[in-house]
Structure 1
């Protein structure tokens, strides 16, 4: 698409320049030739008057004086007595001539045609240079225009692909083009809705699993008692065992639902080198902060590994950076550290922070301090909980948010406890 926009814009510009430059070159050439011819006519008429002066005194005109006055011309003068005087050097090759005549005097002026042609060529070369300069400027402008029009579209395609993979994080990028900005706004709105739907589905699955587990457990126990109490009716024992099998199958289904509620479908928590994710987010957000005259700084421990879904970590960091961009100020600092049980990533800035009345409910749905949607931090905290982590506001003024993730060793121990069951 960029190539088509570039070629079409460049084609229109070049056509316009040529439609102006070619007629201009023809007009300039004609003017130069006409001006040279008119100048020779004026010179010939003036020479007749100059010749009449010495003739009136009974003298002949001085060819040397005339030649010095008109050094680039060859002049022929026919006098009243029929004789001819010449002034200047004879011009070889093609000439441009003009003749002026009175009753008894004729003056013919010759000029080298090559001089006029060289002047025309100089002017045509100047026009050609201007045409080339115009084409170069049009090319640069066409490239800039094509880039301005296509980069937002490529960015919107990437956003749409991210929504299709379940990475429902609004980007809030605008490009200064009303139509494209409208599409970006619609995609951001859709991202918020998709994230809300995903969070709602996880909450529903978790609640449903929790509510179903207790009665199913009770049902299983009652069926076991019924089977044990049936000493001789084989039919009761057989039906009870079948019902018990069905109940156990239903328990397995509920356990699967609970597992899905704990893990978002966009990916499961795995040991992840968080440096790569943080660097990717810094690289993505640094130009946006730079346009606002702000910087992003990374400090703390390196080469840390936590058990987290990479896409969830990316979305949480992006939410915190976007929150700092919208509500904070100054340099944004990302600090990584290792505690006894967690890998911690802190995001803070130098802004005014969170008001005391909002600090305790900043993660609640629809709570915002500056007219926002109030969903960003709510969804970020939900994503953190999916992988067994937590997102906290550890300092209100200036604001510092911390994402606590499980260390690899802690996740392994928790998994072993789940597999072995209660003692």
Structure 2
């Protein structure tokens, strides 16, 4: 948007400069040429009047006196030739021919005196070029000023829109704490206020849904548990095999129903609980370092955190911390050497990549394509950790991938926002909660 706004404003300024500047330069050139021509005609008329006065006074009109009159009216012209006809005298001429483009003027008196002047147009041409140069410089200066103003205006427009997009993303993810400062642009502020009201309405609906889910969990699980216990009791105390078989069958159905209810409630929680906010990566890294640093020291292995992105991201701090914990725990159990957690800018400059790697043997080639499937494990574990981490990354709008299996390199892709935008303005700070060796705001 910023580039589009700059191009549009600069294009308008360029059109105005061309529409106003070129005609202005043309009319200025015509005016300068007409002024020079008029000055030459006035000089010719004055020479005619001077010769008439001389004739009336009985003074001689020879070539030398005429040359002096012409010199008085020359007014700094470098090259000027003339043809003067005085009645009773020979034609008086100056045979010097001006070079280049010329302009001529003719004047005649009733007594028969006629003067024709021919002057070089180099002075007029120089003045015209100077005027055109001034117009060109003005056009270029106007375009530069327009460019600077366009860039300033585009920044003032794009920043509120970025905050507005962050607010909309928060509301779309179920969050309602997103508040931004007024931008001063009425339309954007109206949209921001409407988003805030929408977030409050969604918060009420989500709270009602979550309460309904909690009530359903209590109302369904309690009788199902009691029913299971009763069926188990019947199976134990009954002496008839048919009754015991029927009790076992009913017990299996009840257990299946209990699992279905649990899964449905868990899905509802995952769908309604996805919230992202603008956070600093170092906050998540510091939490992970406090959790795993001692365990790595006990194992005699280094654990390194690097933040080369130095940009705030849009993510769920809790989910991102769980994903990192899964990857770091797997590296501690099954990896070797140094474990490095490295955050750097993505290729698109709109995202941040967090890489978790170690120097272990890696992941088998046949196992790598299905590493995020539930139940898939190369070390006899449950195979749930990476699958859950993959789902958590997707829930907060990110992506967890296996970049390299030997050595093992996992990447977490998350969205980034410009470093100039303070996350505390997108998501205001909450109360300060003690976290042991350090404090953190939620």
Q: TM-score, normalised on structure 1? A: 0.59
CA gap of 1:322–1:165, structure 2 versus 1, over 3 A, is closer
- Output the CA distance in 1 between the equivalents of 2:200 and 2:156: 27
Residue by residue, what CA displacement relative to the aligned partner does 1:200-253 show, whole Å, maximum 9, x if unpaired? 333333333234444333333322332333213x33222222222233334444
- Output the CA distance in 1 between the equivalents of 2:226 and 2:45: 128
- Superposition map of 1:204-219 within 5 A: 204-219=212-227
Gaps of 5+ in 2: 293-314, 322-395, 397-422
Give the deviation of 1:276 after TM superposition: 2.5
Query: Which residue of structure 2 lines up, in the alignment, with residue 245 of structure 1?
Result: 252
Q: Retained in 2: the 8 A contact 1:174–1:181?
A: yes
Query: Which residue of structure 1 lines up, in the alignment, with residue 206 of structure 2?
Result: 198
Residue by residue, what CA displacement relative to the aligned partner does 1:66-93 show, whole Å, maximum 9, x if unpaired? 4255242434432222224457965234
**1:101 corresponds to 2:108:** yes
Query: Which residue of structure 2 lines up, in the alignment, with residue 59 of structure 1?
Result: 60
Paired residues, number: 309
Gaps of 5+ in 1: 269-273, 281-299, 325-332, 347-402, 404-423
Give the deviation of 1:98 after TM superposition: 0.9
- Output the CA distance in 2 between the equivalents of 1:47 and 1:335: 100
Residue by residue, what CA displacement relative to the aligned partner does 1:175-209 show, whole Å, maximum 9, x if unpaired? 33322322222223333333443343333333332
**1:91 corresponds to 2:98:** yes
Give the deviation of 1:146 after TM superposition: 4.2
- Output the CA distance in 2 between the equivalents of 1:258 and 1:52: 118
Give the deviation of 1:49 after TM superposition: 2.1
- Superposition map of 1:294-373 within 5 A: 303-305=289-291, 310=317, 322=428, 338=436, 344-345=439-440
CA root-mean-square deviation: 4.2
Query: Which residue of structure 1 lines up, in the alignment, with residue 144 of structure 2?
Result: 136
- Superposition map of 1:100-119 within 5 A: 100-102=107-109, 103-119=111-127
CA gap of 1:43–1:318, structure 2 versus 1, over 3 A, is closer
Which of 120, 126, 130 pairs up with 2:128? 120
Q: Secondary structure at the match of 1:97?
A: strand
Give the deviation of 1:112 after TM superposition: 0.6
Which of 278, 281, 290 pairs up with 1:276? 281
CA gap of 1:97–1:257, structure 2 versus 1, over 3 A, is closer
Query: Which residue of structure 1 lines up, in the alignment, with residue 327 of structure 2?
Result: none
Query: Which residue of structure 2 lines up, in the alignment, with residue 77 of structure 1?
Result: 84
- Output the CA distance in 1 between the equivalents of 2:16 and 2:172: 44
Structure ranking higher on relative contact order (CA contacts 8 Å, 6+ apart): 2
Q: Retained in 2: the 8 A contact 1:98–1:110?
A: yes
Query: Which residue of structure 2 lines up, in the alignment, with residue 286 of structure 1?
Result: none
- Superposition map of 1:160-199 within 5 A: 160-199=168-207
CA gap of 1:104–1:252, structure 2 versus 1, over 3 A, is closer
Query: Which residue of structure 2 lines up, in the alignment, with residue 420 of structure 1?
Result: none
Q: Retained in 1: the 8 A contact 2:180–2:425?
A: no
Q: TM-score, normalised on structure 2? A: 0.57
Query: Which residue of structure 2 lines up, in the alignment, with residue 367 of structure 1?
Result: none
Q: Retained in 2: the 8 A contact 1:78–1:106?
A: yes
CA gap of 1:168–1:251, structure 2 versus 1, over 3 A, is same
